[in-house]
Amino acid sequence: MDQLKQLFGEKSEIVRTQLRDLVKEKGKVEVDKVYLEQIYGGMRGVKSMIWETSSLDPIQGITFRGYSIPALQEKLPKINGSTEPMPEGLFWLMLVGEIPTDEQVQWLSDEWERRSKIDEHTFKMLDSLPADTHPMTQFSMGVLSLQRESVFARRYFEGMGKSEFWDASYEDAMNLIAKLPQLAAYIYRRTFFKGDHIAPDHTLDWGANFAHMLGNDTQDFYDFIRLYLTIHADHEGGNASAHATHLVGSTLSDAYMSFTGGMTALAGPLHGLANQEVIKWVFEMLESLGKDDPSKEEITDFVNRTLDEGKVIPGYGHAVLREPDPRFIAQKRFAEKHLRESGIVQVVWKLFDVVPPILQSLGKVKNPWPNVDAHSGAILVHYGMKEFTFYTVLFGVSRALGVLSALCWSRALGFPLERPKSITSQWLFNFADQKQV
Ligand code: HAX
């Protein structure tokens, strides 16, 4: 058994026993109330699931096992003089709750490299799709095409018992994560570069190899992709891609099936697709204004026009956060360090000044601040990746780290089939009739 799997097995066994005892002893403790407006309003704030790998505070933002993004940047191992953390280190941290050593991270990087080979049938399937098939559709189909290799599905078919679920899920998570960069890069190059593919460089770490296969071999781009893959990985369990993965996984669908569910959720414009929508909207603004360096007044007019047309401002607002997203700030810091002069980045910074007061003035937007998706596109464009319909795939590769480590935990803790109760509107009207506010 490999070192990470052994550690995960030991740690999760302890938590499983603690949780079992807790539920036995205090199972009837009331945790929270649920209000009618929460049932009607997308279940905001309803505490209803366990998610070990990260936690979201409306003001402080995301922490991964207690570490904020700046803390991760400081403490996670880095490679070859890089200033950004290796996403491999975050996966280790999320899975077992410990900051790994340089040796442990190197082992994990090598392990993913060892598991990274993709069978030819996946490439043939992708090549059979029209090139204008959305990259997120290709990505989801690519992941599903790998499912025939699922260790969990095979062992379940062979009669595996419950106590082995976490072991098989770990194998699937490791195999799938290992393959995602090449799968994603293949989709990018077939869709936008007429199939001019770049072979993996087996000497590079997971993030840098992905950057290499996308087609940019500068150290700055390697660093940006390492940072990007780290900060997009997890955002506690209630967001749509995490929750969808969790829900599908609770039926004992394997990691490939579950992750595909998460990716089709990520592909919505109110969630991960917002990263493509932001830059598309910025390009539309520049075209409409006929210039690359609009003034704040011109930007204000365009923002108001967008709102007047009944549309949202992409990249702004959040269901949980109530301050600027620390993932936005991390990207802004990166841009301040590496690409302060970039024209498109300057536009994003002007939006940061202009948009929040306008959204605030509407009086209904709970969070007028930028979210994770407001900044990434400008940096990618600066590095030559203008093909914005691909951006959500980058997000998806990163999100795999969080949702698949969480899936391992769900199987290790023996979580049951998720099955909340729905009610009809008529039930709600009748119920509300009998209650006083
Ligand atoms: N522009 C215009 N109006 C906005 C807005 C924005 N950026 N954000 C919220 N609002 C509006 C809502 O549409 C809603 O209006 P109605 O009452 O007329 O329906 C009102 O303000 C209240 O919404 P809220 O409670 O503040 O926000 P929600 O929790 O309902 O929604 C969203 C959160 C992220 C979906 C929302 O802020 C939004 O649509 N933002 C733009 C799209 C976006 O950037 N999505 C990415 C979010 C981060 C993420 O998941 N990335 O993957």
Task: Say how many Å lie between the CA of residue 339 and the centre of ligand 1.
Answer: 29
CA distances from 11 to 47, 98, 135, 169, 258 (A): 24, 11, 37, 16, 23
**How many angstroms separate the alpha carbon of residue 302 from the centre of ligand 1?**
18
Q: Which among 384, 394, 151 has a CA at the least distance from the CA of 272? A: 394
Name the closest-CA residue to atom 21, ligand 1. 365
Is residue 373 part of the annotated active site? The answer reads: yes
Residue 82, in any domain of the structure: no
Decide if pLDDT at 307 tops 90.
yes
The answer to whether 338 is a known catalytic residue is no
Residue 5's H or E segment, with its range, is helix 3-26
- Asked if the structure places residue 372 within a domain, the reply is yes
pLDDT at 41: 96
d(CA 258, CA 241): 10
Band of residue 344 on the pLDDT scale cut at 50, 70, 90: very high
The conformational region for residue 314 under phi > 0 = left, psi -120 to 50 = alpha, else beta, is beta
DSSP-assigned letters across all residues of 150-219: -HHHHHHHTT--GGGHHHHHHHHHHHHHHHHHHHHHHHHHHHHSTT------TTS-HHHHHHHHHT---H
Percent of the chain at pLDDT exceeding 70: 100
What is the C-alpha to C-alpha distance for residues 65 and 405, in angstroms, rounded to an integer?
Answer: 12
Residue-level pLDDT at 334: 97
**Whether residue 437 has pLDDT greater than 90:** no
Atom of ligand 1 nearest to the CA of 316: 7
Asked, for residue 337, whether it belongs to a domain, the answer is: yes
- Here the contacts of 207-212 (C-beta below 8 Å, separation 24 or greater) are 207/86, 207/87, 207/88, 208/79, 209/113, 209/181, 210/181, 210/184, 210/185, 210/397
Q: Which amino acid is at 95?
A: L
In terms of Cα–Cα distance, which of 282, 269, 410 is closest to 344? 282
Q: Domain of 314?
A: 274-382
Q: Kindly state the tokens that stand for 316.
A: 């702004």
Compute the distance between CA of residue 7 and CA of residue 12 in angstroms, rounded to an integer. Answer: 8
Tens-digit pLDDT profile for residues 375-424: 999 999 999 999 999 999 999 999 999 999 999 999 999 999 999 999 99
| Pocket lining: 312 vs ligand 1, CB cutoff 6 Å | yes
- CA geometry: angle at 142 spanning 141 and 146, to 5°? 110
Ligand 1 atom closest to Cα of residue 311: 2
Cβ partners under 8 Å of residue 9, min gap 6: 1, 166, 167, 412
Using CA positions, which residue lies closest to atom 36 of ligand 1?
317
Half-sphere exposure of 289 (CA within 13 A, CB side): 21
What is the per-residue pLDDT across 220-273, written as a single tens digit (0 to 9) for each?
A: 999 999 999 999 999 999 999 999 999 999 999 999 999 999 999 999 999 999
DSSP per residue over 119-157, as a string?
A: -HHHHHHHHTS-TTS-HHHHHHHHHHHTGGG-HHHHHHH
The residue from 271, 338, 375, 382 that is catalytic is 271
186 belongs to a structural domain: no
Q: Give the CA-trace dihedral at 403, 369, 43, 432, to 10 degrees.
A: 180
Spacing, Cα 270 to ligand 1 middle (Å): 7
Of 321, 373, 233, which is closest to residue 57 (Cα–Cα)? 321
Of the CA atoms within 13 Å of residue 57, those in its CB half-sphere come to 11
Q: Distance between CA atoms of 72 and 430, rounded to whole angstroms? A: 50
- Domain contains 340: yes
The total of structural domains in the chain comes to: 1
pLDDT at residue 436, rounded to an integer: 84
**pLDDT band at 18, cuts 50/70/90?**
very high
pLDDT digits (tens, 9 = 90+) for 201-221: 999 999 999 999 999 999 999
The per-residue pLDDT for range 76-108, each reduced to its tens digit, is: 999 988 999 999 999 999 999 999 999 999 999
Which residue's CA is minimally distant from atom 8 of ligand 1?
Answer: 317
Contact, 87 vs 50, CB < 8 A?
A: no
**38-88: per-residue pLDDT in tens?**
999 999 999 999 999 999 999 999 999 999 999 999 999 999 889 999 999
86 and 222 Cβ atoms separated by less than 8 Å? no
Tell me: the pLDDT tens digits for 111-166? 999 999 999 999 999 999 999 999 999 999 999 999 999 999 999 999 999 999 99
Q: Is the Cβ–Cβ distance between 175 and 189 less than 8 Å? A: no
Query: In the prediction, which pLDDT does 306 show?
Result: 97
Ligand 1 binding pocket includes 371 (Cβ within 6 Å):
yes
For residue 313, is it within any domain? yes
What is the predicted pLDDT for the residue at 81? 87
Residue 388 is predicted with a pLDDT of 98
- Known catalytic residue at 102: no
Extended beta strands in 244-390, E state:
none
**Torsions phi, psi for 5 (to 5 deg):** -65, -40
For residue 359, what is the domain's CATH number? 1.10.230.10
pTM exceeds 0.95, yes or no: yes
